[in-house]
Chain A
Amino acid sequence: EVHLVESGGGLVLPGGSLRLSCSASGFTFSNYWMHWVRQVPGKGLVWVSRINSDGSTINYADYAKGRFIISRDNAKNTLFLQMDSLRAGDTAVYYCARDEMGMSYLDYWGQGDLVTVSS
């Protein structure tokens, strides 16, 4: 069974940093594109970033460019999102998700991890 489990979220001061992790199991992690999607509580889904199976292709939403870095460790079946220069507007639940066909159709999602940026 496919499982994705995010960790690393929490409360951070404006301007601070956090590194989210997404531990994957139940499938061959190294074969799949992976994404991060975020959601402000009570609001809609917003795409953040994606990385291809071997980490050679990476894309970001404009608001994430220069502040967020997506990466993966296929030996450890883990996806990461390093977030720097965090702002109040980055407060959200962050989901990692598997891309079934490399076409951004997200067939499995983690439970989400809340990041709160506040002083």
Chain B
Amino acid sequence: DIQMTQSPSSVSASVGDRVTITCRASQGIDGWLAWYQQKPGKAPKLLIYAASSLQSGVPSRFSGSGSGTDFILTISSLQPEDFATYYCQQTNSFPPSFGQGTRLEIK
């Protein structure tokens, strides 16, 4: 199975900051990667698919990049509603697997 490792596990930032979250796959997954946002008590929300494609309705301040084993989620200018936990997910190889999550907290 492919292991997905996110870093950092948690990060503190302020409104307006630029934030990057990294996801590393234990083996190459080409561009088969998604990013999700989850707020407490809520279901996950798809932000990015195919590593860099923005899901419909997701603000353009979210972007994704990477290929192979290393991927990045960038939030260009943090908004109050962006404080949440973020998960990456690989879909290249069965079973699909998620990273452990990165908690984005208000500084």
The answer to whether A binds B is yes
For residue A102, give the distance in angstroms from its CB to the closest CB of chain B.
10
Q: What residue of chain A has the Cβ atom nearest to residue B100's Cβ?
A: A44
Q: Which residues on the A side are within 8 Å of B99 (C-beta)?
A: 44
Smallest CB-CB separation from B99: which chain A residue? Answer: A44
Least Cβ–Cβ distance between A4 and chain B, in angstroms: 9
Q: Between A and B, how many residue pairs show CB distances below 8 Å? A: 54
- Partner among A45, A59, A100 whose Cβ is within 8 Å of the Cβ of B44: A45
Pick from A45, A61, A106, A112: contact of B95, CB under 8 Å: A61
> Which residues of A are found within 8 Å of B50, using beta-carbon distances?
105
Min C-beta distance of A13 to chain B, whole Å: 27
**Are B95 and A47 within 8 A (Cβ)?**
yes
Query: Which residues of B are at the interface with A, using a C-beta cutoff of 8 A?
Result: 32, 34, 36, 38, 42-46, 49-50, 55, 87, 89, 91, 94-101
A residues with CB within 8 A of B = 37, 44-47, 59, 61-62, 95, 97, 100-101, 103-107, 109-112
30 A-B pairs within 8 Å (CB atoms) are namely A37-B44, A44-B87, A44-B98, A44-B99, A44-B100, A45-B38, A45-B87, A45-B101, A46-B98, A47-B95, A47-B97, A47-B98, A59-B94, A59-B95, A62-B95, A103-B32, A103-B49, A103-B91, A105-B46, A105-B49, A105-B50, A105-B91, A106-B44, A106-B46, A106-B89, A107-B46, A109-B43, A109-B45, A111-B43, A112-B43
